[in-house]
Structure 1
Amino acid sequence: MRTRTGAACACLALGLAAGCGTSPPSRFYTLNPTVAPAAATSTLVVAVGPVTIPAVVDRPEFVVNTGPHEVKIDDFNRWASPLQDNLTRAIADNLSAVLGTSRVIRFPQPIAVEPDYRVVVEVRTFASAPGEAATFDAIWTVRRSKDGRTQTGRTAVREPVAEKSYDALAAAHSRAVARASQDIAEAIVALQRAS
């Protein structure tokens, strides 16, 4: 009887010890502008936002595609700030660099001057597959404030990810967002020329 009780206590202690193991530390990532900043020579004012994202990725954790209809939420790899804010900031920083203006602001921050252009972005796909690709598909609209003239476009990018790391995945998403930012900047320039 003592042997059974001792064995049961040992099993219980082992089970408790296994449950007290530490989980891996969380890692945090950001989207970064990939366009090198140019000298701010323009006085153009651009407001970026709102930027909307699919509900499935509107969370702090990375949402990873594991199959055609399956995703995994990775509790230990997270965005350092809300993804929507991350995207808005990256687009604004890229536009600032491409257009050569330091006056690119994120909507809805109040500003003392009416923006020359407002950029609205609807992200339709923001898919992550470590070691495969980062997929970004967005419809964006640029609206000129002085006359309401608009230009709408779509940027769909599948950016390869050579490594299975989340850092490489965040970098690929940053490159995809830079591609969309370049398309948006070209639309702003086209509207400027059409004045």
Structure 2
Amino acid sequence: MRLSLLLAIALAVATLAGCASPKADFYTLSAEAPGDSARPATPVTVLIGAVSVPELVDRPQIVVRAGANQVTMNEFARWADSLKSQIPRVIAADVAQDLNSPRVSAYPMAGDQAAVYRVQIDVQRFDATLGDAVTVDALWSVSSPGKRAPLSGRSTVREPCSGAGYDALVAAYSRAFATISRDIATAIRPASP
């Protein structure tokens, strides 16, 4: 009796271990690696404000296009942090590098707030097909210090994936945001004193 009870428990544990769900992988966007060329410093303070993203992709699962009218959400390929948190941090790091300025942040900084360039970004499209490419379409505006009218632009970037998996897809998104960051930095540079 006791042996059969132990055998039943061991069998139940083995069955449950075999039914364990697969391990989830977590991904983050990354800033572009620093280049070797020394850009001239642009002594400006830039605040990257809140970023809006489409509700479809505003979730932990990575969303990919499966057809013209179909998307899939992989429960085991997830963002490590929300896109609304990751995108401003990555753009701030890329813009800081492009302007060669240590005063670019996604969080308010101490100092003269009247001298801050404020950037707003509305991601209109955040789309990907595994093994193919990602597309990011973003409207952005830069409010410069003083009474000047805001500068605005639209960056539409299609970045090919360098492989078939989620690592390649997330790296392509990171490169797309580096391109958008360069567009924003280019708009700030001539407007700066």
Classify the TM-score, shorter chain. 0.7 to 0.9
Instruction: Give the number of aligned pairs.
Output: 179
Q: Deviations over 1:10-50 (max 9, x none)?
A: xxx99x93895122111111111115165894431000012
For residues 138 and 80 of structure 2, the distance between their equivalents in structure 1, rounded to whole angstroms, comes to 22
Counterparts of residues 1-195 of structure 1 (less than 5 Å): 17=15, 21-36=19-34, 41-107=41-107, 109=108, 111-114=110-113, 115-192=115-192
Kept in 2, the 8 Å contact 1:35–1:97? The answer is: no
Kept in 1, the 8 Å contact 2:51–2:87? The answer is: yes
Kept in 2, the 8 Å contact 1:116–1:146? The answer is: no
Q: Deviations over 1:114-152 (max 9, x none)?
A: 143111000001112110111100010011022242111
Segments of 5+ residues of structure 2 without an aligned counterpart are 1-10
Kept in 2, the 8 Å contact 1:61–1:73? The answer is: yes
TM-score (norm 1): 0.83
Kept in 2, the 8 Å contact 1:30–1:79? The answer is: yes
Inter-CA distance 42–63: structure 2 relative to 1 (3 Å threshold): same
Aligned to 2:5: none
Q: Deviations over 1:58-81 (max 9, x none)?
A: 111101111111111111111111
Name the aligned partner's letter for residue 113 of structure 1: D
For residues 179 and 128 of structure 1, the distance between their equivalents in structure 2, rounded to whole angstroms, comes to 16
Name the aligned partner's letter for residue 74 of structure 1: N
Kept in 2, the 8 Å contact 1:142–1:151? The answer is: yes
TM-score (norm 2): 0.84
For residues 183 and 42 of structure 1, the distance between their equivalents in structure 2, rounded to whole angstroms, comes to 15
Name the aligned partner's letter for residue 112 of structure 2: V
